[in-house]
């Protein structure tokens, strides 16, 4: 066992994902705590140039092959498995994103390694790795210790560290690793299908009224539409609202939707699961309305109201309209 710390450097379409830098910063902390090396593992096709941006790591293990042009989970896991088995780092940190989350899980299954997902932090305690994981959409957390003596696969949640901490101007050493991906893989990538253009571009709105499952029915969304019209914004939603076809996918905010940064973000009947918060936490001002005082959305809200969104919405809309009639604008 090398005892080193490895980070999967996620790249897509020729760009390193921001989460890679967050995890490099976490990996750097871990490697420094343990006095070991930090290695970034970069997989793709024609990605050599990206290695130079990974200087927070001591070196980069590069697996570059035309058959690795798209991040097909089993293919990536197949080329990583022999390397991991051969070198046995102490931990392999994998971004928990739509692109990479399956890779760590497949590796753990294939190599029978301990795996922990939803980690937001990790440390060495008495020379043993200890991870802090988010459970139940962020309502509680757990501290876990992976079995020692084997590489621990840690699926790392976004925002484990600020991405700026993972950037470095230093040029890392690069070790090229030969790989021969299966030319007849279990799953073959065909093409990307872009979603139909949305009716509203959420990313350009200054005010958003976001609705969640707490709105209870599609009919109740009219209450949110009325407030959005009043403040000159648009309605967006958490995933359950879109899954139930109350709104189209173009209105979804979060991990599998859009990232928005409006000046004002109302979160109505939204619990504040990490996958949702990921897409809206950089809003200038967040106002949350939720019946549950323990809802995690209050952890990111600038203003919070413990109450029924269905009762509050008409009151808010009337107040906005009244203010506009009085000539004070919607603000």
x/- mask, ligand FAD, residues 199-238, rule CB under 6 A, reads: -------------xxx-----------------------x
- The token duo for 155 is 């699926």
105 is an interface residue for ligand FAD by CB under 6 A: no
Contact 27, 94 (CB under 8 A): no
Q: How far is the CB of 323 from ligand FAD (least distance, A)?
A: 23
89 is an interface residue for ligand FAD by CB under 6 A: no
Single residue of 104, 275, 286, 300 touching ligand FAD by CB under 6 A: 275
Sign of CA dihedral 262, 118, 250, 229: negative
Neighbour order of strands in the sheet with 303-306: 234-237, 207-211, 264-268, 285-290, 303-306
Q: Which is nearer to ligand FAD, 18 or 292 (CB)?
A: 292
Instruction: Round to the nearest angstrom and report the end-to-end CA distance of the chain.
Output: 60
254 is an interface residue for ligand FAD by CB under 6 A: yes
CA atoms of 212 and 310, how far apart (whole Å) = 12
Q: Give me Rg for the CA atoms of the chain.
A: 22
248 is an interface residue for ligand FAD by CB under 6 A: no
CA atoms of 200 and 183, how far apart (whole Å) = 42
Q: Tell me, what DSSP letter sits at residue 37?
A: -
Single residue of 74, 137, 232, 248 touching ligand FAD by CB under 6 A: 137
With residue 313 as reference, give the H or E element that holds it: helix 309-325
Q: Which is nearer to ligand FAD, 4 or 275 (CB)?
A: 275
Q: Which is nearer to ligand FAD, 271 or 317 (CB)?
A: 271
Q: Which stretch binds ligand FAD (CB under 6 A): 10-18, 63-71, 106-114, 252-260?
A: 252-260
75 is an interface residue for ligand FAD by CB under 6 A: no
Q: Which is nearer to ligand FAD, 17 or 151 (CB)?
A: 17
36 closest CA partner among 48, 24, 27: 27
How many residues touch ligand FAD under the rule CB under 6 A: the total is 28
| Coil/strand/helix, residue 126 | coil
Closest residue to ligand FAD using C-beta atoms: 254
287 is an interface residue for ligand FAD by CB under 6 A: no
Residue 61 CB contacts under 8 Å (≥ 6 apart), including other chains: 6, 39, 40, 41, 42, 83, 175, 177
Neighbouring C-alpha atoms within 13 Å toward the C-beta of 305: 16
29 is an interface residue for ligand FAD by CB under 6 A: no
255 is an interface residue for ligand FAD by CB under 6 A: yes
289 closest CA partner among 211, 226, 231, 181: 211
Q: How far is the CB of 289 from ligand FAD (least distance, A)?
A: 5
Q: How far is the CB of 50 from ligand FAD (least distance, A)?
A: 25
Q: Which is nearer to ligand FAD, 76 or 118 (CB)?
A: 118
310 is an interface residue for ligand FAD by CB under 6 A: yes
256 is an interface residue for ligand FAD by CB under 6 A: yes
290 is an interface residue for ligand FAD by CB under 6 A: yes
217 closest CA partner among 290, 309, 315, 320: 309
269 is an interface residue for ligand FAD by CB under 6 A: yes
Q: How far is the CB of 98 from ligand FAD (least distance, A)?
A: 6
Scanning the structure block, which residue is given the tokens 């995890």? 23
Contact residues for ligand FAD, defined by CB under 6 A: 137, 212-214, 238-240, 252-257, 269-271, 273, 275-276, 279, 289-292, 295, 308-310
């Amino acid at each position: 066992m090398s005892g080193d710390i490895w980070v999967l450097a996620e790249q897509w379409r020729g760009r390193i994902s921001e989460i890679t830098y967050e995890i490099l910063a976490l990996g750097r902390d871990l490697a420094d705590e343990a006095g070991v090396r930090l290695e970034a593992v970069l997989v793709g096709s024609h990605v050599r140039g990206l290695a130079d941006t990974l200087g927070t790591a001591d070196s980069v293990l590069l697996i570059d092959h035309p058959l690795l042009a798209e991040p097909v989970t089993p293919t990536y896991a197949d080329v990583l498995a022999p390397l991991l088995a051969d070198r046995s780092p102490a931990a392999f940190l994998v971004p928990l994103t739509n692109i990479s989350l399956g890779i760590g899980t497949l590796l753990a299954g294939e190599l029978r390694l301990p795996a922990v997902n939803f980690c937001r932090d990790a440390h060495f305690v008495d020379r043993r790795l200890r991870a802090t994981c988010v459970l139940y959409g962020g309502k509680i957390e757990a501290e876990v210790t992976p079995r020692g003596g084997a590489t621990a696969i840690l699926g790392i949640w976004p925002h484990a560290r600020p991405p700026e901490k993972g950037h470095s101007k230093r040029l890392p050493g690069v070790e090229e690793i030969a790989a021969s991906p299966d030319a007849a893989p279990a799953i073959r990538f065909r093409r990307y299908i872009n979603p139909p253009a949305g009716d509203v571009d959420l990313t350009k709105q200054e005010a958003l009224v976001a609705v969640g499952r707490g709105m209870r029915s599609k009919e109740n969304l009219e209450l949110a539409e009325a407030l959005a019209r009043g403040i000159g914004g648009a309605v967006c939603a958490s995933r359950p609202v879109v899954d139930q076809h109350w709104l189209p996918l173009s209105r979804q905010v979060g991990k599998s939707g859009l990232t928005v940064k409006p000046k004002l973000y109302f979160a109505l009947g939204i619990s504040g699961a990490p996958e949702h918060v990921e897409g809206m936490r950089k809003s200038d001002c967040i106002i949350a309305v939720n019946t549950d005082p323990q809802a995690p959305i209050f952890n990111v809200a600038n203003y919070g109201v413990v109450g029924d969104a269905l009762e509050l919405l008409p009151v808010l809309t009337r107040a906005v309209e009244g203010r506009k009639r009085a000539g004070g604008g919607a603000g």
